[in-house]
A and B are shown apart, each in its own frame.
Chain A
């Protein structure tokens, strides 16, 4: 598309702006709602500009929590979510890069079988295997613990597959050169494979962090201890408070807070992996 007609450019920008407005509007409303009193939101028309209760709402939510939903401070929930999301992202990357290393670079019996077994679990999301997974977690005594929240979600066929595909693009001569240079399996992994995988790791980290951050069903099932509430289960708990109006202003404040860490990760890591892509070494 190297067309150079001014009115095309104008139309393109108008369409883009419209798209931006449509996607950004709900987020704006969420922010507006989080700065008003609860009563303001049940009246017609809904306010379109921020109100004066920003500090009130966020203060309440962060440090003491919403009474109606058991009163867990959101700061605690954010902390829990952070631990879980980091645990899942780091764990998944560590496990899958090692698994892919074994599958690509080592000749062991049933290698292909193992690969396809891992690959097949791709077809089974957490929700499908939640009963057996719960059973095992319970038997291991991991209910109501961070390990219980993290470990069952760590095995990752997707990430293993991605690393495998990447490793297959690394020229064999590089492996052979390393062998001649006296690098054993561990050294090769640490000195060559890991640095070359940097950008892949960064990209996966972003995706997996958000995946972990957004987990809802599993934390709900595996933890009953209020001090282990994650932000996602916390928000939902506040929506379903029995016998009263949902406290929309607090809910929206919580939603805003829940959005921040993933955005932060994307922004920070994006810089990292764009840099990685620009100075790509292949």
Chain B
């Protein structure tokens, strides 16, 4: 139960590599915040600074308003779940969970009670006397969770905790982690490179790139209004289609292709007079492309690959004349011929516009 604040946090590693470039983030009590981004963007670094496993080289981290920059990990009252679980291999499940409490001189009866409760919540009751290697991956993951829960910490930190599990178990555990966190109402900070995990679990997302928070917001807000082309492409599966183009002469449309080379124009919902010729990136999500629409302009695209997902079908297509690709999501099943030609329309209500040079979203 705590608030966590990052204030201008920076990290320069001893070798001179600057991994975090000033992150500002205020996490409220009981919130589930997910740090998401590709591998190497600094998610773990940020989490480990909060845990006290890495020094903070700039800015402040506060837990419950108190600056913790110089506190030892054990004194920050937080618990962490690692990707490889990091269970003590020679200790039983019970000892693994109890170890942190024993070090804190918690009375034995309290330890027993909490371990029993955690085991019950996590479905580990019959396994308390087993060693970690006698458990499956999912069970080990639960023990790691149990070790965090029994501590009743101010915050849970997760560093890609589900990466080592198979796909099905991952879905199951992600639901379970979320349920537990809601039940315990403990602040949680969760690191993942998987945007599906991020979207489904987060109260709030932090999309990171190269040590910078590109966007912070609720998952659906981020999805609906990505602040940069990077976020647009990263969030969503498949990501948003991004097409180069320029604003047309009257400002009412975008002409596709570099410098409008493709000649095909897509009408904008709100005209941008006075920006004629401005290089932009036009974004549209695969599910917002209209197939054979009754009205409006269409573009003919050629399908190069079809991925039937059951409920949906994803078609990877090429725009004629410029080699840009366009991903289309169709509801239902659509048997493929590799040479499919589709007439797609761009739903004006779901167009996104970004500046080409900065990648920043252009508001209407």
Contact = CB atoms under 8 A, between A and B. Distances in A.
A179 B90 contact: no
A281 B90 contact: yes
B133 A281 contact: yes
Contact of B99 (A173, A183, A281, A282): A183
A197 to B, nearest CB: 10
Contacts of A56: none
B99 A191 contact: yes
Q: Is the interface of A mostly helix, strand, loop or mixed?
A: helix
B202 interface: no
B51 A180 contact: yes
A174 B88 CA distance: 7
Interface in B65-112: 72-74, 78-80, 82-84, 86-90, 99-100, 103-104
Nearest to B80: A180
Given A177-B80, A281-B131, A183 B103 contact: yes
A171 B86 contact: yes
A196 B89 contact: yes
B53 interface: yes
B74 A182 contact: yes
B132 interface: yes
How big is chain B's contact interface, by range?
Answer: 20 to 34
A158 to B, nearest CB: 25
A183 B147 CA distance: 14
Given A180-B73, A181-B99, A281-B131, A192 B78 contact: no
Interface in A107-156: none
Contact of B89 (A176, A182, A187, A281): A281
A191 B51 CA distance: 22
B103 A177 contact: no
Contacts of A226: none
B84 A192 contact: no
Nearest to A176: B53
B103 A192 contact: no
Contacts of B86: 171, 173-174, 176-177
A156 B102 CA distance: 35
User: Which residue, A181, A183, A198, A282, has most C-beta atoms of chain B within 10 A?
Assistant: A181
User: Which residue, B78, B82, B133, has most C-beta atoms of chain A within 10 A?
Assistant: B82
How big is chain A's contact interface, by range?
Answer: 10 to 19
Interface string A182-211: 110001000110011010000000000000
B221 to A, nearest CB: 33
B73 A192 contact: no
A173 B82 contact: yes
Contacts of A195: 90
Interface string B44-59: 0000000111000000
Interface in B303-348: none
Nearest to A281: B89
Contacts of A176: 51, 53, 73, 80, 82, 86
A183 B72 CA distance: 11
27 contacts: A173-B83, A173-B86, A174-B86, A174-B88, A176-B51, A176-B82, A176-B86, A178-B99, A179-B52, A179-B53, A179-B74, A180-B51, A180-B52, A180-B73, A180-B74, A180-B78, A181-B99, A181-B100, A181-B147, A182-B103, A187-B103, A191-B99, A192-B88, A196-B89, A281-B89, A281-B131, A282-B89
Interface of A: 171, 173-174, 176-183, 187, 191-192, 195-196, 198, 281-282
Interface of B: 51-53, 72-74, 78-80, 82-84, 86-90, 99-100, 103-104, 131-133, 147
Given A177-B82, A180-B79, A183-B103, 5 more contacts: A177-B87, A178-B88, A281-B89, A281-B132, A282-B133
